[in-house]
Amino acid sequence: MANKKGRKTEDKIPTRHELTVLRVVAEAGTVARAAAALGLSENTVEARIDNLRDKTGMRYIAGIVLHLCDKGLLPRQEADSDAPTEKAG
């Protein structure tokens, strides 16, 4: 697969900045909130996500996150300790 510039995108490693942007977008829920939290423009955040789409071949942010977790490039988060748990009956 090639990106918009014709470069091969398989096995491309995301940059630290791209991974940071991805984490914040996933936590914030929207590009606008992530951009505000990072002090970046929405266009910059969108560009980083587009780079990750090119590198992973995934279309949606959730797919990018799962793909990078499966590759070991993004750590899986543990469940919050405040999250409700099922009680044994």
Q: Which residue has the higher pLDDT, 89 or 51?
A: 51
| Model pTM score | 0.73
Quick check: 14 pLDDT over 70?
yes
Q: Which amino acid is at 58?
A: M
Query: Average model confidence (pLDDT) for the chain?
Result: 83
Cα–Cα dist 14/48, whole Å = 9
Quick check: 40 pLDDT over 70?
yes
In the chain, the percentage of residues whose pLDDT exceeds 70 is 74
A 10 A CB-CB count for 42 gives 14
For domain 16-70, the CATH class is mainly alpha
Cα–Cα dist 3/31, whole Å = 22
Cα–Cα dist 22/45, whole Å = 9
